[in-house]
Amino acid sequence: MNTHSSAMPDSAGTPRVAPAKMSATRPLYWSVRRELWENRSIYIAPLAAAGVYLFGYSISLLCMPRRMRAMAASHSEDPLVMLAMPYSHAAMLLLVIAFIVGVFYSLDALYGERRDRSILFWKSLPVSDLTTVLSKASIPLVVLPLVTFGVTVATELIALLLSIAAHVRSYAGASAPSTASLLFQMQVVLLYTLIVLALWHAPLYGWLLLISGWARRATFLWAVLPLLVISVFERIAFHTWHFRSLLKDRFWGFAEAAFALRMPGGEAIDPHFIPVAQLTPGKFLSTPGLWIGLAVAAAFLVAAVRLRRYREPI
């Protein structure tokens, strides 16, 4: 019985093995690597922000024990909140930086390759427009959250070591093990928050990628101006602010769905420390606004793929 062989004889009669078919994930993987090579701000900006924060934090340690003892004596803050505050400030700063980087990256992702005409080279490679757009969308939705999480965890651990070295770890009556346990909770909440933000903000990044593939210049203006015009037109014509409320909800509406903002007793949660028990992933996943937003984001990405297929260099 003859068996089929993938070996092919060359001109000299020596069997030559046919190359294996490229895995479907490799073009996407290398496309993402390309984005990281070409856009170093993706990881440099969070690292720079972390460095600035740690520098400021190390200076603040000089007067922190006295300040914290005064706050503890006045009972103006919960001890856990006082303990978590420096670490939550680092996380908030890096979340804001990640959002800013994601916005400006998305605005330049498809526009930049048309501006410098490198799109002609990239289109000559065996990489589809769908793969290219998905790789660019993965930066603000997947890569930046992962980078932000890693940098934030490292920043918080360094801040903990600095506080131990400065002998201020017990300013809220907490030992080093309890501080580590608190940090672990905060990092779980941070990871959950990053996932929530990526899903909730997906239509925003999809819109920015669409504008990046369509506009010939002034991408930021084209991204913002239509939203302002629609809001003003609605106000003038109908005396309502429904569209503005929709935009506001798309920025901040995730909080009420993803977190229980009040304790069982009714008191409000301090945003500096949100216990793991206050996370509500089931409520968030059952929110209609989440799935509507994801559907809109998918529509924007499909439109961006078609634009890249037919759009010429600038």
Instruction: Give the Cα separation of 106 and 273 in Å (integer).
Output: 31
For residue 80, pLDDT over 80 is answered with no
Q: Where residue 95 falls among pLDDT bands split at 50, 70, 90?
A: very high
State the pLDDT confidence band at 69, using cuts at 50, 70 and 90. low
For the chain, what is the mean pLDDT?
85
Q: pLDDT value at position 11?
A: 47
Top pLDDT among 268 and 230 is at 230
pLDDT the model gives residue 64: 65
Cα(26)–Cα(22) distance, rounded to whole angstroms?
A: 7
Per-residue pLDDT tens over the stretch 301-312: 999 999 998 878
Length of the chain, in residues: 314
Cα distance between residue 311 and residue 132, in whole Å:
14
The pLDDT tens digits of the residues spanning 33-55 come to: 999 999 999 999 999 999 999 99
Cα(208)–Cα(103) distance, rounded to whole angstroms?
A: 7
Q: Provide the b/e sequence for 130-143 (b: ≥16 CB within 10 Å).
A: bbbbbbbbebbbeb
- Report pLDDT for 1: 44
Mean pLDDT (whole number) for 64-77: 58
Q: Which of 97-111, 158-172, 279-293 has the lowest mean pLDDT?
A: 158-172
Paired tokens of 4: 């089929």
Q: Per-residue pLDDT tens for 183-192?
A: 889 999 999 9
Among 137, 146, 275, CA closest to 201: 137
Per-residue pLDDT, 197: 96
pLDDT score of 139: 96
pTM of the model: 0.84
Q: Each residue of 201-248: pLDDT tens digit?
A: 999 999 999 999 999 989 999 999 999 999 999 999 999 999 999 999
Q: Which spans in 75-175 are helix H?
A: 79-109, 111-115, 119-123, 129-138, 144-165
Give the model's pLDDT for residue 297: 97
Q: What whole-number distance in Å separates Cα of residue 237 and Cα of residue 253? A: 26
Are 107 and 139 contacting, i.e. CB atoms less than 8 angstroms apart? no
Q: How confident is the model at residue 153 (pLDDT cuts 50, 70, 90)?
A: very high
For residue 14, pLDDT over 80 is answered with: no
